[in-house]
Amino acid sequence: MLKLSVVIPAHNEEESITETIQTLYDVMMKYKIDHEIIVVNDNSKDNTIQVLDRLKKEIHSLVYYNNEGPNGFGYAVQYGLGKFSGDCVAIMMADLSDDPVDLVRFYHRMIEDNTDCVFGSRFIKGGKTIDYPLHKLIVNRLANNIIRFVIGTKYNDATNAFKLYKKEAIIGIKPFLAHHFNLTIELSLKCIVRGYTYSVVPNSWRNRKTGVSKLKIREMGSRYFFILMYCFIEKFFSRGDFKKMN
């Protein structure tokens, strides 16, 4: 069996992080999955660190790190990806928008299919979104259709951060270029372009109950475009120099 690591970036998540970690831990224990939960406190200004201190005394598989900087979603995720010890690693949000039961399905599918990655999709049969803001949904669907066309893939939810990667895949797609939310497409598109195998599993997404979303759509357009163009150039002009080694 594979040891599962879960990386959770957290910035000012004192209201959400307890439920997220406790629910994730309970699910992992229920399904008897060997795991570790890695929270990266990304320069929080609230009581996130105090909440993590308390949780660490109660949950044996929890470890947390303080990312002193530079800060931002991509930096925090990269920090966590440099610390995990499992055979595979998932990225989850601190606001419990991702369902830990879906992660169990990802984990078992990775073992059953023996793939390098398992990607979640909220927009295939069995997937769903709850309280998804309409303007974000429109932008999401437009962006993912552009990505599909440019890269030439059928996968329709590259902007979804909720994915599971084997350790070898994470090593094989380094170094990372993205420092913000565009890291979500860099990880999956590099895996696709470089020939890592993947399965697609439906997953659900629920809008956060408390706190404020850190994703600023207006700031991210050019950054997503940069990563998309990089992956396009790598796929069609790198002559296979970055392909997965068998």
Residue 243 falls inside a structural domain? no
Residue 246 falls inside a structural domain? no
We report the CATH number of the domain holding residue 101 as 3.90.550.10
Hey, what amino acid is at 177? Answer: L
Residue 92 falls inside a structural domain? yes
Q: pTM for this structure?
A: 0.92
| pLDDT tens digits, one per residue of 20-77 | 999 999 999 999 999 999 999 999 999 999 999 999 999 999 999 999 889 999 999 9
Residue 72 falls inside a structural domain? yes
* Residue numbers of the domain that contains 233: 4-237
Please report the sign of the dihedral spanned by the C-alpha atoms of residue 79, residue 82, residue 86, residue 91: positive
Residue 245 falls inside a structural domain? no
Q: In angstroms, rounded to a whole number, what is the distance separating the alpha carbons of residues 153 and 177?
A: 21
Model confidence at 240, pLDDT cuts 50, 70, 90, reads confident
Residue 242 falls inside a structural domain? no
Residues 237, 220, 190, 205, Cα dihedral to 10°? -150
Residue 216 falls inside a structural domain? yes
- Give the count of domains, the chain: 1
Residue 229 falls inside a structural domain? yes
